Amino acid sequence: MKSQQQYKPRFSFEFFPPKTDVGITKLKAVREEFAKLNPAFFSVTYGAGGSTRDRTFDTVTETKTSTGINTAPHLSCVGDTREQLRGLINQYKDNGINRIVTLRGDLPSGMGSSVGELQYASDLVSFIREETGDHFHLEVAAYPEMHPQAKSMDADLQAFKAKVDAGANSAITQYFYNIDAYKFFIDSCEKMGINIPIVVGVMPITNHDNLMRFSNMCGAEIPRWIRTRIESHATDLDYITKFGEEVVTNLCEQLLDLGAPGLHFYTLNQVEPSLSIWNNLGLSSK
Ligand code: FAD
Give the CATH number for residue 212.
3.20.20.220
- pLDDT confidence of residue 143: 98
Side-chain-side CA neighbours of residue 267 (13 Å): 26
List the catalytic residues. Answer: 14
- pLDDT confidence of residue 42: 98
Assess whether the C-beta atom of 56 lies below 6 angstroms from ligand 1: no
Mind listing the pLDDT tens digit of every residue in the chain (286 residues)? 888 999 999 999 999 999 999 999 999 999 999 999 999 999 999 998 888 999 999 999 999 999 999 999 999 999 999 999 999 999 999 999 999 999 999 876 666 555 789 999 999 999 999 999 999 999 999 999 999 999 999 999 999 999 999 999 999 999 999 999 999 999 999 999 999 999 999 999 999 999 999 999 999 999 999 999 999 999 999 999 999 999 999 999 999 999 999 999 999 999 999 999 999 999 998 7
Q: Model pTM? A: 0.97
Assess whether the C-beta atom of 122 lies below 6 angstroms from ligand 1: yes
Label residue 152 left, alpha or beta by phi (over 0 means left) and psi (-120 to 50 means alpha). beta
Rounded distance between C-alpha atoms, residue 182 and residue 187, angstroms: 9
Nearest to 94, CA basis, from 60, 55, 66: 60
- pLDDT confidence of residue 34: 98
- pLDDT confidence of residue 110: 60
Domain residue limits at 259: 2-285
Rounded distance between C-alpha atoms, residue 31 and residue 57, angstroms: 16
Assess whether the C-beta atom of 60 lies below 6 angstroms from ligand 1: no
- pLDDT confidence of residue 115: 72
CB 111 within 8 A of CB 139: no
- pLDDT confidence of residue 105: 94
How close is the Cα of 244 to the center of ligand 1, in Å? 26
Taking CA atoms only, the protein residue closest to ligand 1 atom 13 is 159
Rounded distance between C-alpha atoms, residue 174 and residue 219, angstroms: 9
Number of domains in the chain: 1
H or E segment at 266? strand 262-266
Nearest to 132, CA basis, from 65, 87, 73, 197: 87
